[in-house]
Amino acid sequence: MTTSVEFGLDTFGDVTNDAAGTPLPHAQVIRNVVDEAVLADQLGIDFIGLGEHHRADFAISSPETVLAAIAACTQNIRLGSAVTVLSSDDPIRVFQRFATVDAVSNGRAEVILGRGSFTESFPLFGFDLRQYNELFEEKLDLFTELLKQQPVTWQGKLRPPLKSQSVYPPAEHGRLKTWIGVGGSPESVVRAAHYDLPLMLAIIGGDPKRFAPYVDLHQRAYQQFGREPKPIGVHSPGYVAETDAQAREELWPDYKVMRDRIGKERGWPPMGRDEFVAEAEHGSLYVGAPETVARKIASTVKTLGAARFQLKYSAGPLPHEKLMKSIELYGSKVVPMVRDMLAA
C-alpha cells in the first residue's frame, strides 16, 4: 500500500457558540476559520477546504476570499473549496477567482466543483432548480475548457457563446487542480472520468465500504476512455479528543443540533444517540481518540484506494477552542499514525 496519501481538513464555517452558549457573529467565525487554517499549516496538514453556503448556520459564502486571507498567513498548506456550487455560479468567474488565489498562494489553490446538496444559492442568484443537472453539466463543460488556458471558443444552450476569448489571470503554475465532488451518484462518477478530473467522494453517512462500487465504476470508466485514472479522495465528518469517551461526549450534542436542523428541512427524523454511536463505530463518522480515528481512516484509505482523506472537523455550534484542539490532535497524532499504518 502506498504511503503517498494526503491529509486534509474541511469546514463550512459552521456558526459556533461562545463560552456562554451564544452563537458567535459570522465575522468572528470567519476569523476563527483563518486561525484554524494557520494551525493546520503549522502542523503540516496538506489541505484545507472551505465549503460554500448561503444560510444562517454557515458563515462562509465566498470561500475564495477567505482562502486568500489564509494564503497570506500560511506557507505550505493547499487551499481549496469544499465544494464550489458551479451550477449557480459563472464558470469564468470561478476560474478567475481561484486563479487569483493560486497567485496569492504561489500555486497552492485547488477547486472542488459540485452541484450542491444545499440549494439556497439557486433562487438567491436567479437560477431555476428545474435545470439543476443541465446547469452543472454545461458549466462544467465550459470550466474544463478554461483549464486549458487557451483562447476559448465554446457554445452551450444556457449562456451566449464564446469565440476566441482569453480569460485572465491564468493559473501561474500550470493547470489549476480541479476535483469533482460526488455524493453517491453513478452518473457523477462517470462524469468525472469523462472530463478526466479527480473524484472527491463525500461520504457522510453509512459504511464507507459501500462506496467501493463507485471506485470500481470510476476505474472502469477510465478504461473505456483509454486513460489512466485520476486520484480519488474522501471527505467525511469527524472529531478527535484525548479519549473515545471524551470525543463522543463533546461532539454528540453539537453534532445532533446540526444533524437535526438539516434533517428537519429534509424530512429526516431526529438523530438518536444509538444512530450517532453506530455511525462512530461502523459508519462515516470518524470520532474518538487519535488511534481510533487513525485506524478508521487507514481502513477507509486502504479499502477505497484513496489518495487523499479530508476530515470535516466542524460540526454545528461546537466551540472554536474545541475545534482547535481536535485539529491539533489530528495533525500531530492521527496523521502520523495513519502514515505508519499504511506503511506497515
The 10s digit of each residue's pLDDT in 149-163 is 999 999 999 999 999
Q: What is the CATH number of domain 6-343?
A: 3.20.20.30
| DSSP states of 47-101 | EEEE----STTB--S-HHHHHHHHHHT-SS-EEEES-EEGGGS-HHHHHHHHHHH
Buried b (16+ CB within 10 A) or exposed e, 205-236: beebeebeebbeebeebbeeeeeebbbbbbbb
Question: In the predicted model, what is the mean pLDDT of residues 279-299?
Answer: 97
User: With pLDDT > 70 as the criterion, what percentage of the chain qualifies?
Assistant: 99
Q: How would residue 262 be classed by pLDDT, with cut points 50, 70 and 90? A: very high
Alpha helix stretches (DSSP H) within the chain: 26-42, 63-72, 91-104, 121-124, 132-146, 186-194, 212-225, 244-266, 273-282, 290-304, 320-329, 335-343
Q: What is the pLDDT of residue 1?
A: 40
Residue 12 has pLDDT above 90, yes or no: yes
Give the per-residue pLDDT at 195: 97
Give me the mean pLDDT over the 1-22 stretch.
89
CB 53 within 8 A of CB 60: yes
Query: pLDDT at position 173, please?
Result: 87
Mean pLDDT of 262-289: 96
Residue predicted with more confidence, 117 or 264: 264
3-class secondary structure, 11: strand
Checking if the pLDDT of 255 tops 90, the result is yes
Q: What is the value of pTM for the model shown?
A: 0.96
Q: Is the pLDDT of residue 219 over 60?
A: yes
Mean pLDDT score across all residues of the chain: 96
Give residue 312's pLDDT. Answer: 98
**76-113 pLDDT, tens digit each:** 999 999 999 999 999 999 999 999 999 999 999 999 99
Closest CA to 94 of 57, 147, 40: 147
pLDDT of 265 strictly over 90: yes
Query: Given pLDDT bands bounded at 50, 70 and 90, which one contains residue 117?
Result: confident
Task: Give the mean pLDDT of 233-242.
Answer: 98
